[in-house]
Amino acid sequence: MSSEPNRGNVLDRAWLRRFLHDVSTPLSAVSLHLETASRRAERGDDPSVALATARRELSRAFELFERGRQDALEMQTPEKGRTA
């Protein structure tokens, strides 16, 4: 029995762990900046800076998700030596 499938599973888990961390980081920032914007609005202050930051971080999360989705699809192609 070859250890190659196990090695693939370890690499998949490592990739998935990194991918989830990379996407969750900007999503956490979105949450924090939306909370800040809400508090500023409640005080009558301008929330636009916090909202703009939240928008940027959300865009970044979508970009990272799309890149991760493409990477995951490529990992499943036979020319990469891996199949579904």
Q: What is the pLDDT of residue 37?
A: 98
Domain presence at residue 36? yes
Domain presence at residue 24? yes
Each of the 84 residues of the chain gets a pLDDT tens digit; together they read: 455 556 667 768 888 999 999 999 999 999 999 999 999 999 999 999 999 999 999 999 999 999 999 988 888 776 555 554
pTM of the predicted model over 0.85: no
Cα–Cα nearest to 33, from 22, 14, 49, 45: 49
The range of the structural domain enclosing residue 34 comes to: 4-73
Q: What is the pLDDT of residue 6?
A: 66
Q: What is the pLDDT of residue 84?
A: 46
Number of folded domains that form the chain: 1
